[in-house]
Structure 1
Amino acid sequence: MTTFKAPPQSSHRSHRDDVPTHPKMTVAQVLSTLIDGELPFRFSAFDGSVAGPPEAALGVHLVSSRALNYFLNAPGDLGLARAYVAGDLEFSGLNSSDPYPMLALMADALHVRRPTPAQLLNLARSLGWKQFVPVAPPAQEAPPRWRRATAALTAGSSVLTAMQRHSKQRDSDSIHRHYDVSNEFYEYVLGPSMAYTCAVYDTETTSLEQAQENKYRLIFDKLRLTPGQRLLDIGCGWGSMVRYAARQGISVLGVTLSAEQASWGQQAIIRDGLESLAEIRYLDYRDVPETGFDAISSIGLTEHIGVDNYASYFAFLTTKLADGGRLLNHCITRPDNFSQAKTEAFIDRYVFPDGELTGSGRIITDIQDAGLEVRHSENLREHYALTLRDWCINLAEHWDECVAEVGAGTARVWALYMAGSRMGFERNAIQLHQVLAVKPGLRGDAGLPLRPWWS
């Protein structure tokens, strides 16, 4: 690490002698004060400074001083996201639409340390205090949680409603922000299946479409559905599970808080000639009036409802099931049950506002406490890493079309989010669990085979 010292003072004193002087640091020198060891990539900046091995396969370029401001004011994932989404940070040596190789390299070989107060003071004096005055984040960034609550108050909500992260209005706003981006954009990224949840791979070379078909077949089989039975699919997205089950002769109701998803999905039902068996409603799951369902699938919804609401969520689902009815809950989880539920700043501000995660143990506990009997739990985290790999490939292959559809900033949000999530599943920072449960009859009978009936 290079140490920067003020020049020696002259013996002649003047009115400026009490003000220490500090040589202006280059951006590369600033970076050197924050890194332990050698840089694992080539670094260059808007001021012409460079660092790191010239022969490195991967590189980072700071396009403007705004990128430095983002990093100084929000060290970590949020500062990186702001600079990348705004276009003030560029990666080289790889397809710019897939940051995965650079994120993996940073995780493995980049060792950032917190500067001491003295180093921060030297940085501020060298760069100028204005560099530490926060500038506006990219337009894609949502306000922090406390400001979202303040906005609700300003809009006329009661104090109690404003403080509830998962009121119906706030949940609707969060879902709208994430899912009502553009159906055409999702078609490019997700492919023909329009399935935005973890697929199930036979091998690492299984196609994305086949893997998504595998996922719906697995859920259908675990729920032990037979023609003529009724399925409620909560958080149904664009209706892939709804249409899969309807093609097997099941009467299906799907609900979603995304208006664009509901419209797209209902049109797909009509296109496939399934309207006599399938329906998708733009509706909060809490407002579903029907009961007596033979099965409920909840695929990728639990992440949005808040951990403290799990008990009421699963209790509500229990009231919708007939005796002997089955529930399949499929959601992202943490590898433990004691970490904070709130997601990291980047995910909360750019991807899933108000999203929360916890371990499968907490989910199983709340399902049991709702009166359901848990029969099986399965971790599919490696499958989600492969799913994200394939979504990243789709985004890269259709980068120009995606940018034209939603703008470069939003496309970069998705590139960063999916690449980072892929790495998280690979490294067991997050998991994906399917939990299967049944509502026992009055005498405790579950009506299920003695051994697992799916393959």
Structure 2
Amino acid sequence: MTLFRENYKDYQVGSPKLTIAEILEQFTEGDIPVRFSAYDGSVAGDPDSAYGLNLLTPRGTTYIATAPGDLGMARAYVSGDLEIVGAHPGDPYDVLRMLGDDLHFKRPSARTLAAITRSLGWELLRPIAPPPQESLPRWRRIAEGLRHSKTRDADSIHHHYDVSNTFYEYVLGESMTYTCAAYPTEDATLEEAQENKYRLVFEKLRLKEGDRLLDIGCGWGSMVRYAARRGVRVIGATLSAEQAEWAQRAIEAEGLGHLAEVRHSDYRDIAETGFDAVSSIGLTEHIGVANYPAYFGFIASKLRPGGLVLNHCITRPDNRSAARAGGFIDRYVFPDGELTGSGRIITEMQDIGLEVRHEENLREHYALTLRDWCRNLVDNWDACVAEVGEGTARVWGLYMAGSRLGFERNVVQLHQVLAVKPDGNRSHLPLRPWWNG
């Protein structure tokens, strides 16, 4: 917006206005790999492409022009003003991959920007309210509490996880697990891979009948129930009221209430100590990098000497990148979410006195997991739209397909880090890894 204002004076009054397609061409370098059409009748790109983008309304232009990058495109797509042709809205993976590989943007000259400003007109360049699925920007969330305070964390979790348990049942499948699976083979089913993930965590933590497990950020309680079925006493904690209610019903339905419970609780409010193990599966992304020392310190305080912790979370491929997520992820998916490299996680665990014994990267497994979640969304599209509305369903298809690309291209990773709380100088562990990988 500021850039358009600065160059507005440079345009030539008598010059012809640019069409929407011509404006797109001014921002791209080389060929546009998909078919593009706009509400003004203009077209661009490859007419023979299997995929197309149709900009249907002036409102879509405003979204894109006033929030350049992934946020503006997402607003137009979620609102239904931008249509993807040739790909299902529950899984736009193929077209996103093509755009990522073959569509390259450039910065137009000042004169061209002035012509674009004149062509669009100020009415289309005035920011408008975003789609209702969008969270407030970070600077406005301060009214909900300081970042990663208990109140603001609860609001952020509510935004993402309290969508609809029924919707999650459609997308996640029988396992009701919203974290990376561990595929024994590439053709394993999603349910087999999720069961294998919980087996892997269970074995890494050396859990056995009679042990005590704390599962923080437990979601719908799948790890809680997996361990309880094997005689482990488990407390799970989640900030999502809908998750806690669903999980507690599932525990009672399986007759595991004497061994397991899921609390609607901030993990920081768990009072019990002396656990044999702590599992943190998909929570670290939400707590904020600056809070790692307190987070891992809390975990250490809950373990008995010789107890084990397994931290499973999305990471960046290096330890230098900015922790904050991009505009689309921050506003639509994980408000206040932050990622860093596995090296930072290991460092923080070590610095509070935990002894790291093993780590591994499961990023390819997350790409497969997202592939299967997208398949479920496509297969249950009509039911999902009926449950949460098309805009929210579109958010999920876009987010999951884009994330799949991210894991495939090593933009993001998934690390499991295993550590022990030393008992003096003793770890009480076997000399080599003891689990079946």
Residue aligning to 1:429: 411
Structure ID, larger Rg: 1
- Please tell me the residue identity of whatever aligns with 1:332: I
1:364 paired residue among 327, 330, 346: 346
- Please tell me the residue identity of whatever aligns with 1:447: H
Residue aligning to 2:84: 91
2:248 paired residue among 241, 256, 266: 266
CA drift of 1:309 comes to 0.1
Secondary structure of the 1:33 match is: helix
- Please tell me the residue identity of whatever aligns with 1:451: R
Residue aligning to 2:223: 241
Question: Could you report, residue by residue, the CA deviation over 1:293-327 in whole angstroms, capped at 9, with x for unpaired residues?
Answer: 00000000000000000000000110100010000
Distance in 2 between residues matched to 1:340 and 1:83, nearest whole Å: 26
Secondary structure of the 2:73 match is: helix
CA drift of 1:96 comes to 2.8
251-260 or 97-106, which deviates more: 97-106
CA drift of 1:94 comes to 2.2
- Please tell me the residue identity of whatever aligns with 2:174: P
210-219 or 91-100, which deviates more: 91-100
Residue aligning to 1:140: 133
CA drift of 1:24 comes to 1.9
Structure 1 segment 313-392 matched on structure 2, within 5 A: 313-392=295-374
Distance in 2 between residues matched to 1:59 and 1:71, nearest whole Å: 17
Unaligned stretches of 5+ in structure 1?
A: 1-17, 153-161
Given the superposition, is the C-alpha separation of residues 27 and 453 from structure 1 closer, same or farther in structure 2, using an over 3 Å criterion? Answer: same
Question: Could you report, residue by residue, the CA deviation over 1:148-193 in whole angstroms, capped at 9, with x for unpaired residues?
Answer: 11x33xxxxxxxxx4x310000000000110000000000000010
- Please tell me the residue identity of whatever aligns with 2:263: R
Q: Is the 8 A contact 1:327 1:438 kept in 2?
A: yes
Distance in 1 between residues matched to 2:109 and 2:231, nearest whole Å: 66
Residue aligning to 1:395: 377
Aligned length: 426
Question: Could you report, residue by residue, the CA deviation over 1:69-125 in whole angstroms, capped at 9, with x for unpaired residues?
Answer: 111111111011001100001111122321111110011000111223222111111
Residue aligning to 2:167: 185
Secondary structure of the 2:220 match is: coil
Residue aligning to 1:77: 70
Given the superposition, is the C-alpha separation of residues 63 and 19 from structure 1 closer, same or farther in structure 2, using an over 3 Å criterion? Answer: closer
Q: Is the 8 A contact 2:17 2:115 kept in 1?
A: no
Q: Is the 8 A contact 2:12 2:115 kept in 1?
A: no
Residue aligning to 2:426: 445
- Please tell me the residue identity of whatever aligns with 2:312: H
Residue aligning to 2:214: 232
Q: Is the 8 A contact 1:236 1:256 kept in 2?
A: yes
Secondary structure of the 2:290 match is: helix
User: TM-score under structure 2 normalisation?
Assistant: 0.96
Q: Is the 8 A contact 2:213 2:275 kept in 1?
A: yes
Given the superposition, is the C-alpha separation of residues 19 and 372 from structure 1 closer, same or farther in structure 2, using an over 3 Å criterion? Answer: closer
Distance in 1 between residues matched to 2:245 and 2:260, nearest whole Å: 13
1:31 paired residue among 24, 30, 42: 24
Residue aligning to 1:54: 47
Distance in 2 between residues matched to 1:140 and 1:306, nearest whole Å: 23
Distance in 2 between residues matched to 1:378 and 1:241, nearest whole Å: 19
- Please tell me the residue identity of whatever aligns with 1:318: A
Residue aligning to 2:7: none
Question: Could you report, residue by residue, the CA deviation over 1:267-312 in whole angstroms, capped at 9, with x for unpaired residues?
Answer: 0000011111011000100000100000000000000000000000
Q: Is the aligned partner of 1:120 residue 2:75?
A: no
Q: Is the aligned partner of 1:196 residue 2:187?
A: no
User: TM-score under structure 1 normalisation?
Assistant: 0.92
Residue aligning to 1:111: 104
Distance in 1 between residues matched to 2:107 and 2:152, nearest whole Å: 36
Measured on the aligned residues, the alpha-carbon RMSD in Å equals 1.0
- Please tell me the residue identity of whatever aligns with 1:350: Y
CA drift of 1:57 comes to 0.7
43-52 or 230-239, which deviates more: 43-52
Secondary structure of the 2:324 match is: coil
CA drift of 1:19 comes to 7.5
Q: Is the 8 A contact 1:334 1:360 kept in 2?
A: yes
Distance in 2 between residues matched to 1:195 and 1:19, nearest whole Å: 58
94-103 or 269-278, which deviates more: 94-103
Unaligned stretches of 5+ in structure 2?
A: 1-10
Which consecutive aligned stretches of 4+ in structure 1 deviate over 4 angstroms post-superposition? none
Q: Is the aligned partner of 1:256 residue 2:249?
A: no
Q: Is the 8 A contact 1:42 1:56 kept in 2?
A: yes
Secondary structure of the 2:280 match is: strand
Secondary structure of the 2:228 match is: helix
